[in-house]
Structure 1
Amino acid sequence: MAALLGGGAAAADQVEVVVYADDAYPPYSYSLNGEARGVYPGILRKAFARMPAYKVQVLPVPWKRGLKMVEMGEAFALTPPYYRPDERPYMDYSAPIFNESVSLFCNDSVAPKGPLSRWPDDYLGLHIGRNTGYLIGGKEFDQALKQGKITLNEARGTEENLRKLLVGRLDCYMNDRHAIQNALARIRTEKAYQKTGNVVEATIISQEFGYLGFTRVDPLRYPFKSEFVRQFNVVLNEMKRSGELEQIAESELRR
């Protein structure tokens, strides 16, 4: 692997790089005592440790701010965006990192009854929650929003949205299944939310890969970008083949 990546590098010769990570998306990416934690930061740190030409720091950042930093060329990279080349023309993408299931959780009083539900047709007229800056839901959902058939309410993080859902300020909330289940279990331990409404998984909206997204702006500021991306993809694919990536993810999801 060392030969493939161009050999080792002395510490003094390392390129210092900062990569940002969503600070409010547990268990995938979140801030704990100012440190980026979760599935994606865990995978990235393992990968970066095998890229000796670079000294990479992974820092948490509010998602919307991180996107703006990438858009302005102020940040080199951000994890974990979904692949949205049309909506984010300022961003390039790594190889896909981890596959997530985007689900819709609803108060059981409004969730469609029966084994099947049609997204978004069975949810017209409802108030749907989503994290600020997240482009999930699909084209038909976006069309329903434009037509005023669904009301979208956005909040900064998973827990904030779930609290609104539990007290009836939202009808449904969409996000990754593990992220919702993880946050819901924590919130239910809080006294104020132990006797609130029952929430059920209503439907799976889509499956999405998270990526490491790189700015396309101000290329002279990051002359190492193309080689960094190449090396990262090589290491990432090796971690996938060996099963190490899945092991890291499972370990983080059990926390």
Structure 2
Amino acid sequence: MGNMKALSIIAFLLLLAGYTRADAQSIVLLMDESYPPYSYSENREAKGIYVDFIREAMRSIPDYKVSFKPLPWKRALNLVETGRAFAVFPPYYRPVSRSWMDYSVPLFKETVVLFTPPELLERLKPTRWPEDYKGLRIGLQLGFATLSPQQKELFVISESPNILTNLKQIALNRIDGHPNDYLSVVWTLEHNRKDPALVNLEITPAAIINEEVAYLAFSNIHPEQWTYREDFIAKMNQSLARMRDKNRLQQIVDKWTRDVNAPAAGY
């Protein structure tokens, strides 16, 4: 009789768990489709360090079900800015120019670096950023806030959709340098060495521009359209904070960077 009662309780709990999952609120998170190893799409599958952060965080939030939608970064930002999408990752903190979004707890601290060919660095022998680099042809990633408006005025600026394209532009001598997260640039180059355009490319970190913290960010345009907004944000923040306290975020980063000779900044 005792065993039957225990089995009945287990069966009820399993049914309840199944009901909860089936009844969970579905949420779509937009993400950058071309920012490896943090956030990218491969064969239409969402991948990256920040994808793994959020997937693990969701394990303790069973009343929500998250799916990822990789998009070109500028388009993803526009959808959040106009209130047509709930959330996006991983923007940097720009409370003035991006006042239309609210931020989660920090995900990770990235180190933004200007990469140039080593021969250019040898010729310039710079000691000050950005003054000693004035006039260079700088390729930015479309939609990325890696340089301030004042800094942009010092350079000949072009924009490409991703790091890979900017690296090829350096190889073709169409630009002199590309500023972006250190780990992401090194990762992209080393994982595309089979590309004939990149097999012999040499680049070097020429200047540390700054450190930037990446976030999961939420649109605050007509927030009433997402009745679950405040509850989800609070639970996601709590889950991410617990992961940070247990060093779980850094463990995920370490797993991703074992095969790349590029130390990540951490937080």
TM-score by length of 1: 0.89
Per the alignment, residue 198 of structure 2 pairs with 193
Per the alignment, residue 80 of structure 1 pairs with 90
Per the alignment, residue 238 of structure 2 pairs with 234
Question: Are 1:71 and 2:81 counterparts?
Answer: yes
Deviations 1:69-117 (A, max 9, x none): 1011111110000001111111110010111111110022322669973
Cα RMSD of the aligned pairs, angstroms, is 2.0
Q: Which moved more, 1:172-181 or 1:216-225?
A: 216-225
Runs of 4+ in 1 over 4 A off after TM superposition: 112-116
Rounded Cα–Cα distance in structure 1 between residues aligned with 2:163 and 2:211? 18
8 Å CA contact 1:8, 1:52 repeated in 2: no
Structure 1: which 5+ residue stretches go unaligned?
1-6
- How do 1:1-255 residues align onto structure 2 when only pairs under 5 Å count? 10-111=20-121, 117-138=127-148, 142-146=149-153, 149-196=154-201, 198-254=202-258
**Could you say if the C-alpha distance between residues 107 and 57 of structure 1 is closer, same or farther in structure 2, counting changes exceeding 3 Å?**
same
Bigger Rg, structure 1 or 2: 2
**Could you say if the C-alpha distance between residues 8 and 89 of structure 1 is closer, same or farther in structure 2, counting changes exceeding 3 Å?**
farther
Name the one with the larger helix percent: 2
Q: AA paired with 1:83?
A: Y
Rounded Cα–Cα distance in structure 2 between residues aligned with 1:115 and 1:233? 44
Rounded Cα–Cα distance in structure 1 between residues aligned with 2:119 and 2:135? 14
* Cα distance, 1:247 vs structure 2: 0.8
8 Å CA contact 2:243, 2:249 repeated in 1: yes
Structure 2: which 5+ residue stretches go unaligned?
1-16, 260-267
Q: AA paired with 2:219?
A: T
8 Å CA contact 2:126, 2:133 repeated in 1: no
Rounded Cα–Cα distance in structure 2 between residues aligned with 1:160 and 1:153? 11
Rounded Cα–Cα distance in structure 1 between residues aligned with 2:120 and 2:224? 52
Q: AA paired with 1:145?
A: K
Q: AA paired with 2:26?
A: E
Deviations 1:11-68 (A, max 9, x none): 2331110111100001111001111101111101111121111011122111111001
Q: AA paired with 1:86?
A: V
8 Å CA contact 2:111, 2:208 repeated in 1: yes
Q: AA paired with 1:199?
A: I
SS of the residue corresponding to residue 120 of structure 2 reads coil
Rounded Cα–Cα distance in structure 2 between residues aligned with 1:213 and 1:145? 25
8 Å CA contact 1:82, 1:210 repeated in 2: yes
Rounded Cα–Cα distance in structure 2 between residues aligned with 1:46 and 1:113? 47
* Cα distance, 1:248 vs structure 2: 1.0
* Cα distance, 1:254 vs structure 2: 3.5
8 Å CA contact 1:104, 1:172 repeated in 2: yes
8 Å CA contact 2:113, 2:180 repeated in 1: yes
SS of the residue corresponding to residue 229 of structure 1 reads helix
Deviations 1:125-169 (A, max 9, x none): 10111110001124xxx21434xx311111001101111012211
Rounded Cα–Cα distance in structure 2 between residues aligned with 1:89 and 1:23? 23
Q: Which moved more, 1:73-82 or 1:7-16?
A: 7-16
